[in-house]
Amino acid sequence: MKVTLIKKDCIGCGSCAAVCPDFFEMTDDGKSSIKKAKKVGDNEVLEVKKEGCIKEAADICPVQCIKVE
């Protein structure tokens, strides 16, 4: 499964980090970041085997900048 964070769309609300701190954290730029993710252009991408709380983080995001494929 691939998780993508579209950084330019992130408003820094922190909801993803609140519900899924194993995968998401807030950074110095005031936006969310996926822990251990690769930078792909302006986005962050992480391959995971188990979804865990990632789907919940994507669902709770008010601007839907977390994509799970």
Q: Where along the chain do its domains lie?
A: 2-68
The total of other beta-carbon atoms located within 10 Å of residue 8's CB is: 9
pLDDT per residue over 26-54, tens digit each? 999 999 999 999 999 999 999 999 888 99
pLDDT of residue 61: 98
pLDDT per residue over 53-68, tens digit each? 999 999 999 999 999 9
pTM of the full structure? 0.93
CATH fold for domain 2-68: Alpha-Beta Plaits (3.30.70)
- Cβ contacts of 3 within 8 Å, gap of 6 or more: 23, 34, 37, 45, 46, 47, 48, 54, 58, 66, 67, 68
